[in-house]
Structure 1
Amino acid sequence: MKMVSRTDIGKVRQVNEDRAAIWHELNGLFLAIVADGMGGHQAGDIASQMAVDIVGSELQSIHWGMPVEACKQVLKEAIEKANEQIYAFASEKENYHGMGTTVVAVIASQELLIIGHIGDSRAYKIAGESITQLTEDHSLVYELVKTGQITLEEAEHHPRRNWITRALGTEPGVEVDLYEYAWRPGDTILICTDGLSGLVDSGDILRIIKSYDELESAAEKLIQSALDKGGDDNVTVVLLGHDSDSDEKRGDGN
């Protein structure tokens, strides 16, 4: 398994409120977390850093061989604990009231992905010539799409497309979405903030990832593509490549 993380402040923002962390080996498993903070007075970057730190710390107990449901429970409780601590921190300091963050945490074994998710940061799976969004956005426009009030195409350009309906740390309690997916050698997982997914469509994301043998090059091109399209937000990507046998799975023939 290969993992790479890249982030950029973008062309407009004064502070990078995105955070990401990867653990290449965690008791036989692999872990990646992405968080996109929000809130004034630099509260967003504090919220996202707390989310990555707390969730990462709480997940140090996971291990290969742990039952899937037990692993899901540990992930759920880790995100809930981060929510409680961010909310408590913000409640104690007037400048930080209302601060929060998205979070996507992916626990990967050689066969399985377990994902915990809140907000509009996303996880995708690239398999063969297809790309699949693995998470559902907690956003106003996604709710409008689900109820048939607007189309997916209209959602991409909606003036309120950045309004999220669920965040980490803004309320005393939070509902965590949990997902379980299979993956196999040759597949790639992308975790990203909306600084990428809001500017670069899934077809272009697929094309870029399939165009590069090295994850590092693909991650850098994804970042550059968001910057080329305006870079109006921080942009963060994490790529997980399943090539457990050899790099041949990514097509370099070595």
Structure 2
Amino acid sequence: MLTANRSNVGRVRHVNEDQSWVGQLDNGVTLAIVADGMGGHQAGDVASEMAVNAFRSVLEQHAAKPSLTEEEGKMLIRQAISEANESIYAKAASNEQYHNMGTTIVAAMLHDHNAIIGHVGDSRAYRVTKESIQLLTTDHSLVNELLRSGQLTDEEAANHPRRNVLTRAIGTDPQVEIDVQSLSWSPEDVLLLCSDGLTNMVSEQEMQAVVAGEELELGGKADHLIGLALEAGGDDNVTVVLLQGASSAKREEGSV
């Protein structure tokens, strides 16, 4: 599996509250997660780091079995995100410094011709091909609820002053509803996981053009996406993870 994992603090923020991780288990399962933390006094970076660590711990411990079924994979993604929620909520409840901290999560497990995606919040997963870009996740945000109910147009949603208000996040409540889906996967497909620091700054058409282009290696494509977000203003931390089957592209330094 070819991978690229990039993050940048942006042009406005002083702390990068995004965290990401990509790894591959001995059984060929590839795992990836992006978490976009929130909370005052640098609590957001604590929440996102805790989320990544909890996710990684559960999956490295339980997903490395020789044969992992689709249902087992979905259960483990759900378990990993649930444990992240519990640990962050407990820390926030016991320490005033971390009161109300939380994070988004978008995570993926890829194996053979199957991808399992789990998410909470407004960090996103996309499937990118040479012809199209497909949003795989649904933002758990106030603006998206208003958009889906017809109360806002696409243009109004893009510029809404409360577009960063989440309706669901990790660590803010004792339990959280987690969206988990499974889909068939082609080696030619590219999976893009990202924080909203990318999607608020760069259009889906621009993202598709970069990722589907043949001029750059996967790492260069991730760097280019980060660069586009910075050129557009870099109002937020921006994180990009790209995953692609090694058989469909030249092997590079970022492969695992």
- Same-fold status (TM-score > 0.5): yes
2:192 to 190, 193, 201: 190
Q: Does 1:233 align with 2:230?
A: no
- Please say if residues 129 and 212 of structure 2, whose CA atoms lie closer than 8 Å, have aligned partners that are also in contact: no
1:160-203: per-residue Cα shift (whole Å, max 9, x none)?
11111100000011011001111112110100000000110100
- Please say if residues 104 and 118 of structure 1, whose CA atoms lie closer than 8 Å, have aligned partners that are also in contact: yes
- Please say if residues 13 and 233 of structure 1, whose CA atoms lie closer than 8 Å, have aligned partners that are also in contact: yes
The residue type equivalent to 1:241 in the other structure is: Q
Partner Cα distance (1:245, 1:216) in 2 = 15
Greater than 3 Å deviation, 4+ residue runs: none
Per the alignment, in what secondary structure is the counterpart of residue 241 of structure 2?
strand
Partner Cα distance (2:246, 2:42) in 1 = 39
Q: Deviation of residue 65 (structure 1)?
A: 2.4
Partner Cα distance (2:49, 2:102) in 1 = 11
- List aligned pairs for 1:124-163, cutoff 5 A: 124-163=126-165
Q: Deviation of residue 53 (structure 1)?
A: 0.3
2:254 matched residue in structure 1:
none
Q: Does 1:16 align with 2:19?
A: no
Per the alignment, in what secondary structure is the counterpart of residue 247 of structure 1?
coil
Normalising by structure 1, we get a TM-score of 0.94
1:109-152: per-residue Cα shift (whole Å, max 9, x none)?
12011011000000000022100001100001110111111122
Partner Cα distance (1:180, 1:110) in 2 = 13
Evaluate the alpha carbon distance shift between residue 246 and residue 201 of structure 1 in structure 2; reply closer, same or farther with a 3 A threshold: closer
2:85 matched residue in structure 1:
83
Matched-pair identity in %: 50
- Please say if residues 115 and 180 of structure 1, whose CA atoms lie closer than 8 Å, have aligned partners that are also in contact: yes
Evaluate the alpha carbon distance shift between residue 82 and residue 8 of structure 1 in structure 2; reply closer, same or farther with a 3 A threshold: same
Partner Cα distance (1:236, 1:141) in 2 = 21
Per the alignment, in what secondary structure is the counterpart of residue 183 of structure 2?
strand
Q: Does 1:218 align with 2:216?
A: no
Evaluate the alpha carbon distance shift between residue 176 and residue 26 of structure 1 in structure 2; reply closer, same or farther with a 3 A threshold: farther
The residue type equivalent to 1:203 in the other structure is: Q
Q: Deviation of residue 26 (structure 1)?
A: 4.7
Per the alignment, in what secondary structure is the counterpart of residue 71 of structure 2?
helix
The residue type equivalent to 1:45 in the other structure is: D
Per the alignment, in what secondary structure is the counterpart of residue 244 of structure 1?
helix
1:251 matched residue in structure 2:
none
Partner Cα distance (1:204, 1:119) in 2 = 23
Partner Cα distance (2:99, 2:109) in 1 = 31
1:209-253: per-residue Cα shift (whole Å, max 9, x none)?
1224400100000000000000010000000012336539xxxxx
- List aligned pairs for 1:42-191, cutoff 5 A: 42-60=42-60, 61-63=62-64, 65-191=67-193
Partner Cα distance (1:110, 1:71) in 2 = 13
Structure 2 unaligned regions, length at least 5: 252-256
Shifted more, 91-100 versus 144-153: the winner is: 144-153
